Amino acid sequence: MLKIAYGEASFENLRNRGDLYIDKTKFIPLMENHTKFFFIRPRRFGKSLWLSVLHAYYDTNQKDKFDKLFDELYVQKNPTNYKNSYLILRFDFSGLNTENEFNLKNDFNFRVKKSCEDFLYAYKDILKEQVIEKFEKYFDTFSTANLISFISTETKKVSKKVYVLIDEYDHYANKLASEGREFFVRNIVSQTGFVREFYEQMKIASGEGVFERFFITGVSPIMLDELASGFNILSDMTIDPRFNEMLGFTVDEVVGCLLDKVSDERYTYKTKEEVLQDLIHYYNGYRFSDETETKLFNSDMVLYFMEKFSAIGYPKELLDKNVKTDYGKLRGLIVGTSGKGNLQSIIEDLNLNQSLNFDLQNSFNFERRFGDTELKSLLFYLGLLTFSEPGEMKIPNYVIRTLYWEYLQKYLEEEMNIEFDLSLLGRAIKEMAKQGTANGLRELAVDFFQNKLSSYDYSGLTEKHVKFLFVSYFTLTKLYNLISERELPGRKRIDLLFEAHPAYYEYVFYNFIVEFKYIRKKDSEEEAKQKREEAINQAREYYEIYKRDFKQFGRELRSLALIVSHSREVELIEVCGFES
């Protein structure tokens, strides 16, 4: 079993225990070309661990541990001149109390004071003897700006340089924005705001040559404009192609460092290459620059999967609950800055067209509510969209697409008062999985389109609307991986593929192809007949192609045609595979 310390953010702990670490230290020399480094990535991409790596590499106190911590890593064999040469001042602004401005200011000040205290005690043997005594004497009266000035002054006396590491720089701003309190963010970063004051003092210390290097990271550039007003010395390297692979895993890293080290007994149902293709489908697809072709895996998602897979096989949940919680919070941020209607419109656009065209916005203004471009850009920074072609963004992978479907399902429940019938769903899925029959699915479709959407304006629906509204239902089941627009040779696409989740192979005996057609009010009788025949023919053709070219891993394959009319009539036709 792989020694994966899933969720561990301490580089020193990983190395001391001999846990898995995928070497990214080749980027350290490249980073040194930029002294004020600003770099954001989505949740669960290893940002905090990377800060820990930088801390261990540059900390003068860890000079004696260098060879042990970096043994066999790139940077041990290729050290830079700055190795173990800095005093490290590290801040983490996650989890601050944002109940009101008073609480936030107190919590922010406390976090800064605690980091400064840790710094002074860590380097008490380097700094002058009276520094700790002076700090303790004036601790209660020092503002955050006073503290930064104090550290800068005392460090300068001993001719040392400081490397400042800031994690989750935007956490509190994201939370406030998600609650619709953008005015609050404006207050704290205004010319008289305490956050602005903090960064202005950082800039002064940098100008004096004491705070020589910075690495600042977070999830979004939502506060970058305001931060830059008082700290306009940053190099934003977020979409620089040279750093695309600094966080996240490449295919080669996943194969060489993870899949190759898993016991052969885990490859019972699927070969190593087939498991890799699943991982690519689930978690790969991120490109953080349109100037690179390399696609990345979300590191935490892959490590979660591999920790389970190496021990017991495919995990039943493709996303750790903590990751789902994180992305749930991001939904709040998106809605808070744009409104539910705008997000719903974008989700529909994505489902209909598979991509969005817009120019990425790298700064945000809290003077007004976010517009269309800002919202779509925010989706990119949060990891919900990624570069496809120049000027074009798409959903990176399957698990992110399911998050959109889950949002759609919640939207239908909350905004359209649609109550999903879990008993009907459970019966339909069980019959499909165990018996290969579609009677329950037919009943579910009739109930959904005739009862659940009875107030919906059917005259405005398109075929793709019909499909993704129906798809939202199936986010509530785990037995199948639901794949929309499954690509086939010859540029053909299956409307909806029910593919057994490998964790449930002993329970699910059948895979299903479903082809949709929607009969509009304006369609003639002949056009309606043609659509029906087309759905049947496609269900038959795609059945043959998929059965020929793709493994079923012991499952039987069946295909259906689902025809929904503007008058809410529903017909589910068994096409192929049922005769067996």
Gap between the Cα atoms of 255 and 261, Å rounded:
9
User: Does 61 share its domain with 196?
Assistant: yes
User: Does 95 share its domain with 23?
Assistant: yes
Residue 413 in domain = no
Q: Which amino acid, 527? A: E
Residue 408 in domain = no
Per DSSP (E only), the strands in 385-491 are 386-387, 392-394, 480-488
User: Does 130 share its domain with 27?
Assistant: yes
Residue 1 in domain = no
Residue 38 in domain = yes
Residue 175 in domain = yes
User: Does 257 share its domain with 124?
Assistant: no
Residue 48 in domain = yes
Gap between the Cα atoms of 223 and 506, Å rounded:
49
Q: What is the DSSP letter of 360?
A: P
DSSP characters for 258-287? TGGGS-GGG-SSS-HHHHHHHHHHHH--B-
562 in helix, strand or coil? strand
Can you give the residue range of the structural domain that contains 473? 418-576
User: Does 117 share its domain with 93?
Assistant: yes
Number of structural domains found in the chain = 4
User: Does 237 share its domain with 255?
Assistant: no
Would residue 354 be called left, alpha or beta, if left means φ above 0 and alpha means ψ between -120 and 50 degrees? left
249 in helix, strand or coil? strand
User: Does 234 share its domain with 257?
Assistant: no
Q: CB of 159 within 8 A of CB of 316?
A: no
C-alpha to C-alpha distances, 564 to 119, 442, 483, 516, 540, nearest whole angstrom: 66, 11, 20, 8, 19
Q: Which of 348, 370, 398 is the last residue of a domain?
A: 398
Gap between the Cα atoms of 131 and 136, Å rounded:
9
Q: Which of 198, 215, 243 is the last residue of a domain?
A: 243
Predicted confidence at residue 228, as pLDDT, reads 63
Q: Which of 205, 221, 243 is the last residue of a domain?
A: 243
Roughly what angle, to the nearest 10 degrees, separates helices 398-415 and 321-338?
A: 60
Residue 99 in domain = yes
User: Does 207 share its domain with 258?
Assistant: no
Q: CB of 561 within 8 A of CB of 542?
A: no
Q: Smallest Cα–Cα separation from 536: which of 482, 485, 576, 566?
A: 576
Token pair belonging to 356: 């969005």
User: Does 493 share its domain with 567?
Assistant: yes
Q: CB of 102 within 8 A of CB of 179?
A: no
CATH of the domain at 123: 3.40.50
Gap between the Cα atoms of 479 and 477, Å rounded:
6
Gap between the Cα atoms of 341 and 331, Å rounded:
13
Single pTM value for the model: 0.92
Residue 404 in domain = no
User: Does 281 share its domain with 333?
Assistant: no
Gap between the Cα atoms of 29 and 538, Å rounded:
54
Gap between the Cα atoms of 351 and 463, Å rounded:
11
Per-residue tens of pLDDT for the chain, all 580 residues: 688 988 899 999 999 999 999 999 999 999 999 999 999 999 889 999 999 999 999 999 999 999 999 999 999 999 999 999 999 999 999 988 888 888 988 999 999 999 999 999 999 999 977 888 888 888 788 888 889 999 999 999 999 999 999 999 988 888 877 777 767 777 776 666 788 888 888 989 999 999 999 999 999 887 776 666 656 678 899 999 999 999 999 999 999 999 999 999 999 889 999 999 999 999 999 999 999 999 999 999 999 999 999 999 999 999 888 777 777 766 777 777 666 777 778 887 887 778 899 889 887 766 666 778 888 898 899 899 999 988 899 999 999 988 888 887 887 787 777 888 899 999 999 999 999 999 999 999 999 888 887 655 555 667 777 777 788 888 888 899 998 888 899 889 999 999 999 999 999 999 999 999 999 888 899 999 999 999 999 999 999 999 999 999 999 999 999 999 888 899 999 999 997 5
Predicted confidence at residue 133, as pLDDT, reads 85
User: Does 195 share its domain with 308?
Assistant: no
Q: Smallest Cα–Cα separation from 535: which of 521, 514, 565, 549?
A: 514
Predicted confidence at residue 368, as pLDDT, reads 60
User: Does 18 share its domain with 116?
Assistant: yes
Predicted confidence at residue 459, as pLDDT, reads 59
Roughly what angle, to the nearest 10 degrees, separates helices 182-189 and 171-178?
A: 150
Kindly report the three-state secondary structure assignment for every residue of 153-179.
HHHHHCCCCEEEEEECCCHHHHHHHHC
Radius of gyration of the chain (CA): 27
